[in-house]
Amino acid sequence: MSELNGKVIVVTGGASGIGREASLQLSAKGATIVVADFNEEGAKKVVSEIEAQGGTAAAYKVDVSNGDEIKALIDFTAEKFGTFSGIFNNAGIGLVKPFLEMDPASYHRVIDVDQHSVYYGMYYGAKKMVELGVKGTIVNTASIYGTIAAVGSFNYNAAKAAVVMMSKSGALELAEHGIRVVGVAPGFINTPILGEDEAAKKFLAEQHMRGELIEPEKVASAVTFLFTDAASAINGTTLPVDDGFLSFKTK
């Protein structure tokens, strides 16, 4: 497949989970990938996987909560590969606490990583695209919890709701430059972030229509599609990848 030949795409949180799968799938369609993650060794491993399947990629260590580091990441990408076509703002964390135990440090940590990093990726990414004359694509990872509330997730709910609106507002403002902005809202994904409690994972799985956790490659497939020209009419919206959770949740 060569739908993304010539495209250079940054994937934050690319060392594992959805980010790893997206890096592999985007590469398989011809894109050059910069795998950006705080876990540099993990990012390098994904690069090796991409190269083993015949793709081109580079690893980059980044703290996504630091705007200067995101700017440097974008600059590195454009300088190394000669262009910059898009960014998947995917890096994120969770920190579950009851609201009355959610001290300012706990609140700001999640906001900094899950919300502010998306702004930095959009801002510096769009600036670079305009500078280069590239009509690119920005995809942001939101969540089902950007739409509904969950106990213990005040910070996460706030951050992901902001990502939904930033995707809408960014698309509106950047349309004149030919830059498209979309979001994805995953349901409960089968990654280590869910922990090892099998009963808890079973409960989460049962929230989906099929009663199963969603594998990260399913979200990555949606993300990869959103970067292609076939998705050019999808703009300013956030696509649920939740197996019906937001439409049919009963528990």
> Is 145 in the active site?
no
CATH of span 8-188+216-243: 3.40.50.720
Rounded to the nearest integer, the mean pLDDT of the chain is: 95
Phi, psi of 108, deg, nearest 5: -70, -30
The Cβ of residue 159 has, within 10 Å, a number of other Cβ atoms equal to 27
Phi, psi of 14, deg, nearest 5: -80, -5
- Burial class from Cβ neighbours inside 10 Å (0-12, 13-18, 19+) for residue 176 reads exposed
- 165-216 tens-digit pLDDT: 999 999 999 999 999 999 999 999 888 778 778 998 898 888 898 888 999 9
DSSP, residue by residue, 156-177? HHHHHHHHHHHHHHHHHHHGGG
Among the residue ranges 4-8, 12-16, 210-214, the one predicted with the least confidence is 210-214
| CA-wise closest residue to 138 among 158, 109, 168, 176 | 168
Amino acid symbol at 153: S
The Cβ of residue 192 has, within 10 Å, a number of other Cβ atoms equal to 8
Confirm whether pTM is higher than 0.85. Answer: yes
With residue 126 as reference, give the H or E element that holds it: helix 117-132
pLDDT on residue 44: 98
Q: What are 90's two structure tokens?
A: 């995917």
Quick check: 60 pLDDT over 60?
yes
- Indicate which residue of 60, 107, 145, 156 is catalytic: 156
- 132-150 tens-digit pLDDT: 999 999 999 999 999 999 9
* DSSP structural state of residue 115: I
Quick check: 251 pLDDT over 70?
no
Quick check: 1 pLDDT over 60?
no
